[in-house]
Structure 1
Amino acid sequence: MTKNFIGLDTDKTAGLTEALNDLLANYQIFYMNVRGYHWNIKGDNFFELHVKFEELYTDLLLKIDEIAERVLTLGHTPAHAYSDYIQASAVPERKDVSNGKEAVGYIAESFATLIAKQRDLLSLAGEAEDEGTVALMSDYISQQEKTVWMYRSYLGQ
């Protein structure tokens, strides 16, 4: 077994890196969707949602950077081309969404996709004894579960 410079099995980190790059693609598409919601929102809840979407895309941008840096920490290269992101992402690209409830519904769906991918990564990272990725995914999941509850409550679900 070959270990990388932080003492993890290189074969296992290769699989982790693939999953992290997939997660990165989903975050990037979700981020751009939320930027679009922020820019294009109209209607009664404009002021509330405009601010909420800005908070969300700011947080997503931070997580995008953390995921890419985790890939680098594992000794690999983060994906960085939008053409790759669009091809890999399970979060669909959304265009011209200006209805608040529609945008919030898409946000809740996107978080469900991310949480599922992060749970898979949590398992892979545990098998690889990669505490750094375990901690990152665990933090994301616990934050996002509450966020999904709040967005779903807004929708009356």
Structure 2
Amino acid sequence: MNSEKLIIELNQLLSDFHIYYQNTRGFHWNIKGKRFFELHVKFEELYTEALTSIDEIAERILTIGGTPLHAFDDYLSTSKLRVHKNVSLDTATVTAIHEQLSQLVDQENVVKALAVECDDNETEDMMIALINTQQKTMWMFKSWLGEEVTA
């Protein structure tokens, strides 16, 4: 299996997940307003899920013979996600999470396609599971925002 390109794209996803994780922690810590309680709990759920995904992605990179990125400067220089600072309003945080999840799904689709090319069913399955979970969360946040949800 030629997994060099797959490892590069998995490291891209790993970096993106780290930025998503830290942004979501920041939203959890800094959320304000009437929806504090519901969003504070939801954001904790999301960053806990992200931490599990980070570990699974890194272990998958190791399993297929790569080395996962593991320094914050690597994540910052590699990630395609924007770092969010001092965001505390409910709609701004939910909109940012929705946008980040969309970017993660885009990268997971890249990884999934490469996994198919490399005949790596395990990585493909991992991406399918991540995409399914994140698309559901995106639908929920879009509904929360009151936006029309289309397939």
TM-score, normalised with respect to structure 2:
0.96
**What amino acid maps onto 1:40 in structure 2?**
N
Count of aligned pairs between the two proteins: 147
Question: What's the Cα RMSD here?
Answer: 0.6
Tell me if 1:144 matches 2:144.
Answer: no
1:123 has 2:113 as partner: yes
Residue-by-residue CA offset, 1:10-50 (whole Å, 9 max, x unaligned): xx211100000000000000000000000000000000000
Deviation of 1:119 after TM superposition, in Å, equals: 0.7
Q: For residue 83 of structure 2, what is the aligned residue in structure 1?
A: 93
The structure having more radius of gyration, on CA atoms, is 1
Task: Work out the CA distance in 1 between the residues paired with 2:30 and 2:22.
Answer: 12
Matching residue of 2:40 = 50
Query: AA paired with 1:41?
Result: I
Distance 2:104 2:3 in 1: 20
Whether 1:60 aligns to 2:60 is: no
2:87 is aligned with 1:102: no
Can you give the 5+ residue segments of structure 2 that lack an aligned partner in the other structure? none
Residue 120 of structure 1 and its aligned partner are, at CA, apart by 1.0
Amino acid of the residue matched to residue 154 of structure 1?
A: W
Residue 84 of structure 2: SS of its match in structure 1? coil
Q: Deviations over 1:52-93 (max 9, x none)?
A: 000000000000000000000001110011111111111100
Percentage identity across paired residues of the two chains: 47
